[in-house]
Chain A
Amino acid sequence: MNIIVCIKRVPMTQEADLEIDELEKDVKKDALPFVINDWDNYAIEEAVLLREKTGGTVTAVTIGTEEDEEILRRALAMGADKAIRIDPGDLGLDGFVTSRILAEVIKGGDYDLVLTGLQADDYNCGMVGMMLAEHLGIAHAAGVTGIEPEGREATIRVELEGGMDGVLKIRFPALMSVQTGINEPRYVSIMGIRKASKKELKVIKTGDLNLTEDDLAQRTTVEMVFLPPETEGAEIIEGDSSMVAEKIIRILAENGVSV
């Protein structure tokens, strides 16, 4: 089975004190560490596991800058066979444009399965996968937590709300967006990444693709971003740890939890 896996490098914001940039269109990213999108890490692992079972190749693709090649090398170290970086130049990317470019590179190739993450950890859109499937004209499923291929189809699990899964049969070629927890992504060492640097990493320029102005026109635009007001919310408990602990025990008692 030949598998394409689409991956993105995203800033790590969980513990960062975020600031809004001058244009008020995004946060300041210069000081943030960047990592592979968590969902995409699971997608790479799944692609490699499936290839180990069925044979074929895994190709990792990202639209990004030279710095973003870091995650392609990571994917190669995890077992991907080839990597492609599509350089967007200074093009503005929304979910539509991203999916349109990916489709142009993927279409016509010899693939059975395209994997994406369910969503990217930056803008939390969750749309590139299903859009890409429609551009390619193939079957699609979102939030996949299990894939069992059998010939030209697969039995898959799709995560629903409230701890329930749906079981579906889906025909190849198909696109599936992967949910976290589908597998246990393997550990990647620096050595592994160095070794994998011998594998093929191709760079394509968006300008060289056969795309019209309309294909590359954003369908949605961020007009402004802002931090939510800090005033609302919790009563902050201050003091040393011992005082904090005492206060927590008091709150428990006040709320009918006896300790």
Chain B
Amino acid sequence: MADIFVVVEHRKGEVRDITFEMLFKASELCKESSHNLTAILLGGRDSAFLDDIAPWADRVITLEDERLENYNPDLYKEILHRLIQKHHPFLTFIGHTSFGMGFAPALSVKSGYPIATDCIDILIDNGRPMVTRQIYNGKVFSKDSFRESEGYIITLRQAVCTPEKTEERRGEVFKSELPPDLPEPRQEFMEFVEAGAGEVDISQADLLVSIGRGIGEEENVATVKELADLLGGVISCSRPVVDKNWLPSYHQVGTSGKSVKPKVYLALGISGAFQHVAGIAGAGTVIAVNKDKKAPIFRVSDYGIVDDLFKVVEALKVKLSG
């Protein structure tokens, strides 16, 4: 019976949701395969959340040290590598988050265990994992296999499952000391910086009129802003609009922007990449306008209009002012 490792992700003293999503996925796999679910908690002294994690796992291996309080890719990679060498886990789950993206592929090279990133599903087929991923920004799905190995690493996309505890696990806690011979980390965490608040708070709006790269030119932003004003809504956007400095960053919806919960979300020229739609899970009704009928945004919308967004914007303006 081998282990399935889940690497706990935490920030500013709180466990992040992805941790429970991974624990849930791993527990489902453990049920089918009788593997041992082992949570790995690298954190500062007396991590307050040990009790939250323990009931989800058969055991928790925890290493506590001030240097692990804030994420350090070098230390995390080195410690996980040693745990892998010692326990030979069949699977190691890491979040496909900023945290995981910064060291999981390097850990794969170091340990020799192959990796698949940003997975949305995993099944075990003839003793080997097989993963489902999305490619081309969600327009196509892909099933990938691994070269045979003793163990495998998987990074899981955020919010692909809703954790539900169906059974209590033993949650035996093993505290280990940090190995004395850890290499000196080559980076040092300094501080967190929050993006400044802006004039508007998109997370409080009832109606968001949201624009994506389909807006084409900076001049067109004003056209849609007029529509948002006529509708009494607030303008928001996808990342490329902020990257181009067409709107300030506090207008951005998504994993690296804000999560929003308007009554209605009107998405204009947004393709519906996962990092964007993760931010609109709390929206009431989603209406999408996109000229590509296969745009992934339609899969998460209540209503879809397959057309040029400018035609729809103009027609709405005519109706509202006439």
Contact = CB atoms under 8 A, between A and B. Distances in A.
Interface of A: 13-18, 20, 27, 95-96, 99, 118, 121-131, 133-135, 138-143, 155, 157-171, 174, 177, 180-181, 184, 217-228, 230, 232-237, 241-242, 244-249, 251-252, 255-259
A95 B264 contact: no
Contacts, number: 283
A129 B305 CA distance: 38
A81 B20 CA distance: 48
Nearest to B187: A170
B188 to A, nearest CB: 5
A134 B110 contact: yes
A241 B271 CA distance: 21
B288 A234 contact: yes
B98 interface: yes
A188 to B, nearest CB: 16
B200 interface: no
Contact of B256 (A18, A162, A228, A251): A162
A27 B319 contact: no
Interface stretch (B41-49, B54-62, B136-144, B162-170): B136-144
B187 A139 contact: yes
Contacts of A140: 73, 102-103, 106
B257 A163 contact: yes
A168 B190 contact: yes
A89 to B, nearest CB: 20
Interface stretch (B30-38, B115-123, B171-179): B115-123
A131 B106 contact: yes
Given A169-B188, A180-B239, A225-B135, A249 B98 contact: no
Interface string B304-318: 111100011011101
Given A184-B245, A234-B288, A226 B140 contact: yes
Interface string B248-261: 01101001111100
Interface residues of B, number: 102
B139 A18 contact: yes
B193 A130 contact: no
Contacts of B296: 228
A133 B106 contact: yes
A251 B319 contact: no
* Secondary structure dominating the interface of A: mixed
Nearest to A177: B101
A142 B101 contact: yes
Nearest to A235: B303
B104 interface: yes
Contact of B144 (A126, A158, A221): A221
B210 to A, nearest CB: 14
A99 B292 CA distance: 34
A244 B307 contact: yes
Given A128-B105, A242-B318, A244-B305, 12 more contacts: A13-B139, A17-B292, A131-B106, A131-B109, A133-B106, A167-B189, A230-B294, A245-B316, A246-B319, A249-B316, A252-B231, A259-B232
Nearest to A221: B145
Nearest to B292: A15
Contacts of A217: 147
B261 to A, nearest CB: 13
A174 B243 CA distance: 25
A125 B137 CA distance: 11
Interface string B278-321: 00000011111001111010111111111100011011101110
B301 A233 contact: yes
Nearest to B271: A14
Given A95-B105, A141-B102, A234-B288, A245 B187 contact: no
B249 A168 contact: no
Residue from A14, A159, A181 with most neighbouring chain B CB atoms (10 Å): A14
A248 B213 CA distance: 22
B191 interface: yes
A33 to B, nearest CB: 14
Contacts of B182: none
Interface in B1-31: 11
A130 B103 contact: yes
A127 B105 contact: yes
Contacts of B245: 184
B194 A164 contact: yes
Contact of B287 (A143, A161, A251): A251
B239 to A, nearest CB: 7
Give the 10 A-B CB pairs with smallest separation, nearest first: A234-B304, A139-B186, A219-B114, A241-B315, A181-B243, A163-B195, A245-B315, A127-B105, A134-B109, A130-B105
B140 A27 contact: yes
A248 B302 CA distance: 12
Contacts of A220: 114-116, 144-147
Contact of B130 (A18, A96, A164, A223): A223
